Chains A and B, each alone.
Chain A
Amino acid sequence: MTLYWSSWSDFWAMGGHAYFVWMSYGALLAAVVVEMVLLRVRRRRALEAIEEERDLEAEN
């Protein structure tokens, strides 16, 4: 279970493939962050729609 890399700079350089490795992992991170934000937005909108429904009923 010893680490393969001898230093952090070694790790970030990814043997010269840093651009391709981190573009891949970065895209996954970005996709997860975007999905989490959209999930929150959707939940907030659903709750707002319920409030509007309640207000409409209260008016009638």
Chain B
Amino acid sequence: MNWFYFSSPSTFYGLAGRMAPWCFVAAAAFTAWGLYLGLGVAPTDAQQGAVYRVIFIHVPTAWMSMFLYFIMACYCGLTLVFNTRLSAMMARAIAPTGAVFTFVALWTGAFWGRPTWGTYWVWDARLTSELVLLFLYFGYMALANAFEDPRRGDRASALLALIGVVNLPIIYFSVQWWNTLHQGASVSFKGTSMHVTMLTGMLVMSAAAWMYAAGATLVRVRSVILERERRAQWVRNLGDA
């Protein structure tokens, strides 16, 4: 198999178009299953009451907000080291979806926090570093589009994205490093302290978030490719495109 075959925007355009619908189908199926478990079957938490059901979207979106930044930063690294075009396009395509997940994680956290902690917002280490993540996504997108020459935008924003990676361990370990309001992880590599239906629902919703993010990124990267390559012959030959 030639691994570089799909690193050309023209071949990846077709591949992304064939993959995206399946990602959305999988996302819909996982969402239906996950919501059935999370909102329907899982028992209510003895301490928090029914509001704990927000975690079925809060935790997966928070995980994805960090994963997507990490993947985006990997593509940015490829862009800076190898000067590849598709990697820069992928990074640009991931950023808006990453920002959406970050926003939803912050929002759902606020609406969980109000009845549980008694406040929508507190300048806790976890919350503050997640808010910084949102601004990193915004800054990345603004910088990527701030240049007349898109290739310069690719490189400048890639550098910003790589510097911003230091924020990821800060978010992840903030609940251990600082004794703050946000609770520690219920699910970690060492095991879990949750009811099995709750855990399954959360993992299924995480799979849904993965599939949705993949689908949205693939659809967006097709637009980015068309925007950047609109003068190329293969784009002209797309017919009614």
Q: Which residues of A contact B (CB under 8 A)?
A: 1-5, 11, 14-17, 20-21, 23-25, 27-28, 31-32, 35-36, 38-39, 42-43, 45-47, 49-50, 53-54
Contact = CB atoms under 8 A, between A and B. Distances in A.
If over half of A's interface residues share one DSSP class (helix, strand or loop), that class is named, otherwise mixed; here it is: helix
Given A24-B107, A27-B104, A35-B97, A17 B49 contact: yes
B114 interface: yes
B96 interface: yes
Nearest to A39: B219
Interface pairs A-B: 5 shortest CB-CB: A15-B50, A17-B51, A46-B226, A24-B108, A14-B50
Nearest to B226: A46
Contact of B226 (A5, A15, A20, A50): A50
B54 A39 contact: no
Contacts of B216: 35-36, 39
Contact of B115 (A5, A17, A45): A17
A59 B58 CA distance: 54
B159 interface: no
B111 A20 contact: yes
Nearest to B227: A46
A24 B54 contact: yes
Given A35-B97, A39-B219, A21 B226 contact: no
Nearest to A36: B216
Contact of A14 (B53, B97, B241): B53
B41 A4 contact: yes
If over half of B's interface residues share one DSSP class (helix, strand or loop), that class is named, otherwise mixed; here it is: helix
Contacts of A46: 223, 226-227, 230
A47 B241 contact: yes
A28 B57 contact: yes
Contacts of A36: 216
B103 A20 contact: no
B115 A43 contact: no
Contacts of B241: 47, 50
